[in-house]
Every structure is written in structure tokens, then in C-alpha cells.
Structure 1
């Protein structure tokens, strides 16, 4: 059973979506109330929390960050002062910088630029990393000076990546010079190659192609990745050469597959098709993804035999099923339908999801049966509900409305969430009936779903909930939010 539960990650979207929706709902509801429940922090409390950012205990650091995030307005000024405080520990300063970067606090740029000259290489490297996150071109000149003059290769590597991420063309020439300089440290050259991909300037393509023959595989890998990002057709033939070379490092070949997929040039089709027979599982998986991005019709004809090949690895067949669903060619229906009978739960789950993406109404009845079958693993049943929502139609809506009366919480929650996305007016009355449910989570989901599918009748009921001071506070806030969404919609 635990193995089945493990299916809830990755491509198994519905259960994951339900959880995320609930968390988002709660956060949305709570966000308007936080300031009313907690007073502002005193300067001393802010300083204490900043000190806790340097704790060796991860839970203490996380708690401090959460508290500071809650009181961002009162905490920012003290945190900005901390960045350049040489009396503070390196850990406090760097963790403070990371948080300010996540907050997109542009006022930190000046202090971070100053930190590029700090005596600590850790502080200098951290400054470059956070400046990339902030993405402001005012930091480019300082980063260029760091790239050319810092004695620490980790700092210079981070400066390279930051310049690529910011995307200012002033970085092009220095990065090209570093990549072409064979006396430069390997880590800095590798970062320069990656940065040129991020920069997005195709004037770097010729040099990156040249670097595919470098002795060190790490530099070849970075060059392959950068060529995929630049999406220039001149790279297709050299990248096919990398892929077809069985003596090439496996990680470099795999990255060539991804890059060829990004380039979207059909000249790579034959090599990618042949890679489906490679010994390495990762190469085969990557080829499925890449083929999906090329000629759609040819990809279907190639991936169908892979899906039907019972001697092929389950993971490759699973990836093929999902790709065929996204490609949307109804030629795949019979094969995907057949997989619903597979003994392998991963293949069954992939076929259920793919049939939803295919949007073929022939799948409605079997998906309804799966959703209702209590012998089935729950993740298969909830995914069937999600796939029904993608196919649509009266039968699917009726089945989902019927599922609101299920005695199973997960099925009810799935049906409520899906009906909220559907926008079918027939769902309004059944969802309104759930506003009196004894389970507060069901009521919260119903309130949220009515925001997506309800009309004027729902507005009346939701306004009553919002005005009822004896109701759960979060339910009242959710009702207010749904009323606003309905009014915006109608």
C-alpha cells in the first residue's frame, strides 16, 4: 500500500492539486487576518530573530525566517543594516541576504554590491547569488568587476551565473573571453558557458559548439545545455553527433537529448527515435520527452509501439502514455484504454491521466467506473475524477455531482474541487447543499468551489455565512472571497 501511496507525486496531479488548493485557500483566507492578530515586533525582537538566522539548528532558522516574513515591514530595515555589519557572523549575513532576495527587496542591492568587496569569500559569493535573484541591471558593472578581478574561483563562478541570469548584453564579451581562455579555472569556464545560455545571445553559439570537443565532460555538458537554451539551428548537427557517440559521457548525451527537444528541429528525429532503444533508462526517458516536442504526428507513430511493448521498461511506457495524452491524437485511444486493465498501477494511473488529456468521450464511462470502484487505489479514483473534468460533457458532470454523496472523504473532496473548475450551473444546487455539512473541510471546499461555479443564489447563501459571527472565521472569509469571485464573473 505504501508503494501505491508513493504514486501521489510527480505526474499524479489530482491529489497534489487538491492539497495545494486547500493550502492556498487557507493561506488566502488567513492572509487578511494576520495583522489583526499579532502586534508588530519590537526592534529587540527583530534583532533576536535575525540572530537566530545564524543558528546551527535548522528548525530555529526556519522559524525565525517565518516570523520575519510575517512582520516584513518592521523587519526589513534591521535586516538591511545587517548585510554590511562586519561584526555579524557570516551565516547571519548570508541567510539574511537570501531572505531579502526571496522577498525581492530591491533596497538590498546597494548593500549586496558593497558585499562583493567583503573580506569573506562566502559573503562575496552569496552577494552575487542574491543579486542574480534580484535581477537588477544596476548591479552589472560591479559583477563584471568581480568576474574579472576576484581571486576566488567560486565567487567568480557565481558572478558569471549572476550576469547570465540578469541578461545584460554587457556581459557577453567578458563571458565569451572567459569560456575561450584555456588557462582559466575549469569551474569558472563552466559557469561562463552556462551563463551564456542564460544570457540568450546567439552570438555565443559558434564558441559553444567549439567547446563540445573539450576534454572535460563538465564543460561539454554546460555547453550542450547552453546550446539548447539558445535554440539556434546551427547546434542541431553537433548535438546529434554528441547523442550518437556511444563513448560520450552519459550525462552529456542525456543533456543533448533535452537540448535537441528544445531546438525542435526534425533533423534530430531519427537519432532520438533510435535512442528509445538505448540501454540506459534515463536516455530512453529523455528521448520520449524530446520527441514530444518535435513532429507531433511522427512522434505519435513512434511512441505508440513503445507504449504497447510489454518488454519496455515501465517508466518509459508510463512517460510515453503521458506524452501521447498531451499530443492529443485520438489514434492513441485504444492503446491507452487497454492499459486501464494493466496489473501495474503506475501504467494504469498514466493511462487515466492521458485519457483525460486526450479528451475523447469514449473514456467517460470507464473513468466513471474507476472513480466509483471502492476496490481501486484512491489515487487512481481521484485522478479519474480530474480526467473526467477535462473531458467534460453531461455524463461526466452527472457522475461528479453524484460523487458528492459519497461516504468517502477523498472522493467528495475531489468531486467538489473538480466541479468548482467545471463552471457548470447544474453543480450549484448540490454544492450549496454541502454548506451545511458537518465536516468543516468539506464546507470550505464547497465555499471555494461555488466561487468558480455559483450564481446569484450562491451569493445570497455565501453572504449569509460571511455575516454570521457564530460561523468559523476562516469559513466566513472564504465566503467573502467567493462572493467577490462570483460578482467578477457574472
Structure 2
């Protein structure tokens, strides 16, 4: 459509007339963007006014309002005055006529003020107001009298119409010119992209002289990937370019590829008339990391534009110059919260004790982000002095402040934060609760009891993963200390059960093998070890444990014989007949009862079948 090709236009008109897809037709109507003198689709739009699709009718009427030719207005007036046409179509036509703003529509609209349809009368009245800018009456006689007085246009009114027409033509030419420029820019950039000599920077240097800003910016962006002295010199020169965007780009690039020799040029850009250039220059000086720029950046803290002050503050933070600490602290009282925030972020990179008290005071700032970054910065300092104020901030109304505060307490690592962080596990905000949990893992607790309280908290939240981490830490840190022997066994038991509940039988087995030796009367541990060994198919090891338990508890060993039989029966099913016979023989020597009359009979039966299977006759049968 933008290329105005008649063949394309005709094809689209054909679709509007003949397509069965209403959605497509509505989309095309909206996409046409009819010009004021374009009536090629006039008949099509008028026909669609009677469509059964409401959206189609509305779109058609809206499009007709863009066609302001005499013929179009006459056609629409004819429909408006035709009593045989549907009321809905005539009402839509009133809106289209109003959109044209044409005086030629006034008389037909006045005529339908006497219509039997109240809705049509109202629509015609609204259209008259839109065209004439008169709103003093609703009666037909009022409008007729007004029209009789005004239908003969004055010279000034005709001149106004001519001016409107000229302005409309100018807008059309401007659109066409803009489209042409866009095409030139697109083609030029494509040519640069497809250049055969990828390392040849000459085409990009030449493109910097283009009259089109987009071409210049693209070329400069490509040159930014090169660090040759010639390229650096080009960007130095661009700092004084007439185009603001080019100057911004130049200082940004010099912050990446420049060196000490370009400092003076970037410093000079701190005096640029445009705020964005000064802001970018300050940021680039911070990236260069040269302390020779400190004095000028300190001066930039007095810039009238707060965005420049913010950039200068953050740049000073990158440079970590001692003389910047006090000026940055002074910014804590600035009225702009963004300035206060930037100063706090900058001081977070200094680790300077002079900032501790001002930062603690900033925890009470009325701005959420200032409190957030003050907490974050205090965490990075690691100062114990901030622990109590930070604990108080855990009840802040802002979830992000609570999250940042939890992180800060974790970084400081003081044990007094454990209790408050445990309470934060129930925070309504999931991110806050997650951060509190992570920080509880990071704090190096020296108290076994405190670690226990963290484990209990994770248990309560069903956070098995983190509970296991703390339990492993307990066992590692306190193993071998006699005074913690009893408590450690309890921790091992809890850890084993967590592994067991998470179906991690391999890790659970290692612990259970220790635990059954220590808690030799704990049936639950024994049963869970049996499950784990079965899961791992470690039947030999399981049989050795079962044998041991039978020997050590002759009075109450009925629980283990069914387990033994189940394992031996499984071996029989796997055709391990020799092993079945040997195991039954061994167990019978240790305990002739073999678990009682019933099981003994079943054991004998298995042994008999195994022996039969092993005999030559059994093998041949």
C-alpha cells in the first residue's frame, strides 16, 4: 500500500468485494488509510455499509469519512436521504459526513432532522455540531435558519478551505518524503552490512558524513567495535558534532575504547549544553577508571540536572576516590530520591566507615528504593553496627526492602539475625521468604542449638533441601566432639529420614548402616534400612544384617525370618539354586527353627526344589 502500486490496490479492492472472510476484509479496510482525494474504493465502501457484520459496517463508514471528494459526499448524502436504506447504515453515514467536515453535508443532515427515527435525528444533530461547531439548538428550524445565513461562504472562509487543502497536500507530501528517506536509509545500511571487506572501516567512516542520522548512528555503532587510533580520533571529533545523539554515542564509545589521552575530551563533554551528553560523559569517565577525572566529577555533583548528578555519583563510586566520600554523603540530604539512591550505591563500593552512620539513618528514608539500597550497601560493609537497625527494617512495608535487608543480614553473618530471619520464612512475599532461607544457610553459626532451630524452621516449612544442608553442616562441624555425641546421633537420624522420605536410598543407606549399630533396638530404623537395601538390590548386605539381628535377639526375631525367606525365594526365581541351598543350610546351622514350623517347611521346600533343579535328572527334565 505504501508503494501505491495500482495492481496491488486493485487486488485488495477485489478482496474487499469478494472475500468470504469478514476479518480479512475489516483488516483491509482499516489498513487502506484513504487519502482525501482517493475515491477508488468508494463504491466498495458504500456497498459494505449494508453488511450483516457490524464491525464491517463501522469500519466502512469510518473509511468513507476519509474520502472528501464531492462525488463521495454526494453519494453519502444520497444514502442518508434514502428512506429505503437501513436506518443503521444512514446513522453510520452521519458519522462519516461529520468526519469529512464538509459544508456540502450540512443541508442533507438538516433534512433528516425531521426523520421519524429518533436515533437518526440525534446522529444528524451530532454531525452538524461537529461540522459547524454550533451547539445552540436541536430543532430543525434553528439549523435551517443558521444554514440560510451561512451557506454562502465568505472570502475568508474560502481562503480557510484553501489553506486546509494545502496543509492536507503538504502532509501527504511529507509522508511520501519520509517513506522515501526510510527506504534510502534501509538500503544504505543494508549495503554497509553486506560489505565484502568486513575489516575495511573506510565505508563506515564515509557513512558518518551521511545526511541521514540513522545511517550515521549505524556506522558509528560498527566503528565502536574497532580500537584503532584512527577510530578513536573520529569519536573524539564527534564529541563536538551538531547532533546530540551522535555526541552521546561518541562519549559512550570513548568510555569503552578510550584511554588517558581521551580524558580531557570526555571531561570537556561534562560542560555540554545537553543534559544527556553530560550524563553519558560522567558515566564514561567512571568506566575508564582514571582518577584524574575525580575533581571534574566532584564538580559535576553540582550540575543543575539531577540525572547528571546521579551519573557523576555512580562514576565516583567506580573510581573509589577517598575525597569523594564526604561529598557523596552530603547528597543523602538531596530532595531527589534518585540522587540519594545513586550516592548510596556509590558509597557501597568504598567500604568507608565514615558512611556507616549516614547509611543507617537512610534506612528510615521515606523513599522505598533509598531504604532498599541503604540496606544493600550496609550488608556489603559487613559492619556489626548495622545489625539491629537492619533487623528492625525486616518489618518494612515494602517487600523489596525486606528482601534486601534479609540479604544484608546474611552478608554480615551475625548470629543475632537468625531468629528474625526464621520469622521471615513465613513472609507473604515468596521472594522475601526465599531470600531469608538462603541467608539462614549462609550464616556461619557457632551454636549447635542455633543450627537446630534453623533445621526445625526448615522442617516446619517442609523445606527438606535446606534442612539437609544444615544437618550436614552440623555433622561435619561437630563430629568427634564428645559433648555433642548424643545430639549428633539425633541429627544423623533426622538426616537419614529426610533422605529416606526423598527416596534417596543411596545416601540414606550410608547413614542407616551407622544408625542401626548405635540404635540397635530401634525397629523403625531397621525397617527403613531394609527398604533402602531392597531398593538398591543389595541383598547380600541385607541378609548379613538380618542374620546379625536374629542372633542378637533370639527372643524376638520373628520379624526378620519372613524378610529372609522373601530374599531367598527371589534368588530361587532367578535360578540361583546353589546359593539358595547354601543360605538355607547356613541359617539352619545358626537357628534350626528357621522362623517356626510354617516358614521352616517352606525353606525346606525351596531347598528340595533347588537340589532337584541342580541334579542331572532335574537339569534334563
Shorter-chain TM band? 0.5 to 0.7
Correspondences of 1:47-66 after superposition (within 5 Å): none
Q: 1:90·1:122 contact (CA, 8 Å) conserved in 2? A: no
Distance 1:240 1:402, change over 3 A: same
Matched with 2:551 is none
Q: 1:94·1:126 contact (CA, 8 Å) conserved in 2? A: no
Q: Residue 315 of structure 1: CA displacement?
A: 2.9
The answer as to 2:440 corresponding to 1:349 is no
Matched with 2:281 is 192
- Please give the secondary structure, in 1, of the residue aligned with 2:239: helix
- Please give the secondary structure, in 1, of the residue aligned with 2:304: coil
The answer as to 2:250 corresponding to 1:163 is no
Q: Residue 132 of structure 1: CA displacement?
A: 4.6
- Please give the secondary structure, in 2, of the residue aligned with 1:210: helix
Residue number among 191, 201, 210 corresponding to 2:290 in the alignment = 201
Distance 2:226 2:473 in 1: 41
Structure 1 gaps of 5+ residues are: 1-85, 98-104, 408-428, 434-490
Distance 1:132 1:385 in 2: 51
Q: Residue 112 of structure 1: CA displacement?
A: 4.9
Which deviations, in whole Å up to 9, do the C-alpha atoms of 1:340-377 show, x marking residues without a partner? 3556544432221111111436576566667777x85x
Q: 2:455·2:471 contact (CA, 8 Å) conserved in 1? A: no
Residue number among 89, 105, 111 corresponding to 2:187 in the alignment = 89
Distance 2:313 2:504 in 1: 52
Q: Residue 283 of structure 1: CA displacement?
A: 0.8
Which deviations, in whole Å up to 9, do the C-alpha atoms of 1:166-224 show, x marking residues without a partner? 2412210111122135xx33322222122111111111111111121222222222222
Distance 1:301 1:93, change over 3 A: farther
The answer as to 2:386 corresponding to 1:288 is no
Matched with 2:218 is 126
Q: 1:224·1:256 contact (CA, 8 Å) conserved in 2? A: yes
Q: 1:356·1:390 contact (CA, 8 Å) conserved in 2? A: no
Q: 2:192·2:204 contact (CA, 8 Å) conserved in 1? A: no
Q: 2:255·2:284 contact (CA, 8 Å) conserved in 1? A: yes
The answer as to 2:232 corresponding to 1:140 is yes
Which deviations, in whole Å up to 9, do the C-alpha atoms of 1:32-91 show, x marking residues without a partner? xxxxxxxxxxxxxxxxxxxxxxxxxxxxxxxxxxxxxxxxxxxxxxxxxxxxxx885366
Matched with 1:234 is 323
TM-score calculated relative to the size of structure 2:
0.43
Distance 2:290 2:402 in 1: 37
The answer as to 2:406 corresponding to 1:321 is yes
Correspondences of 1:202-217 after superposition (within 5 Å): 202-217=291-306
Distance 2:343 2:313 in 1: 6
Distance 1:329 1:173, change over 3 A: same
Residue number among 440, 443, 448 corresponding to 1:358 in the alignment = 443
- Please give the secondary structure, in 2, of the residue aligned with 1:238: helix
Distance 1:124 1:277, change over 3 A: same
Matched with 1:218 is 307
Greater Cα shift, 213-222 or 106-115 = 106-115
Matched with 1:274 is 361
Distance 2:243 2:412 in 1: 48
The answer as to 2:268 corresponding to 1:177 is yes
The answer as to 2:257 corresponding to 1:151 is no
- Please give the secondary structure, in 2, of the residue aligned with 1:180: coil
The answer as to 2:369 corresponding to 1:302 is no
Q: 1:325·1:357 contact (CA, 8 Å) conserved in 2? A: yes
Distance 2:224 2:500 in 1: 51
Distance 1:238 1:188 in 2: 23
Matched with 1:3 is none
Distance 1:92 1:390 in 2: 61
Matched with 2:558 is none
Q: Residue 113 of structure 1: CA displacement?
A: 5.0
Q: 2:422·2:457 contact (CA, 8 Å) conserved in 1? A: no
Distance 1:243 1:354 in 2: 28
Q: Residue 121 of structure 1: CA displacement?
A: 2.1
Matched with 1:451 is none
Distance 2:212 2:321 in 1: 40
Q: Residue 385 of structure 1: CA displacement?
A: 6.7
Correspondences of 1:14-93 after superposition (within 5 Å): 89=187, 92=190
- Please give the secondary structure, in 2, of the residue aligned with 1:215: coil
Q: 2:303·2:309 contact (CA, 8 Å) conserved in 1? A: yes
Count of equivalent residues: 307
Distance 1:290 1:134, change over 3 A: farther
Distance 1:358 1:143, change over 3 A: same
Distance 1:122 1:351, change over 3 A: same
Q: 2:459·2:467 contact (CA, 8 Å) conserved in 1? A: no
Q: 2:359·2:378 contact (CA, 8 Å) conserved in 1? A: yes
Higher relative contact order (CA 8 A, sep 6+): 1
Q: 1:93·1:123 contact (CA, 8 Å) conserved in 2? A: no
Q: 1:266·1:295 contact (CA, 8 Å) conserved in 2? A: no
Q: Residue 115 of structure 1: CA displacement?
A: 4.5
Q: 1:356·1:388 contact (CA, 8 Å) conserved in 2? A: yes
Q: Residue 158 of structure 1: CA displacement?
A: 0.7
- Please give the secondary structure, in 1, of the residue aligned with 2:281: helix
Distance 1:134 1:399, change over 3 A: farther
- Please give the secondary structure, in 2, of the residue aligned with 1:213: coil
Q: Residue 284 of structure 1: CA displacement?
A: 0.4
Matched with 2:345 is 258
Greater Cα shift, 168-177 or 386-395 = 386-395
Q: Residue 225 of structure 1: CA displacement?
A: 1.8
Structure 2 gaps of 5+ residues are: 1-183, 477-491, 506-531, 537-621
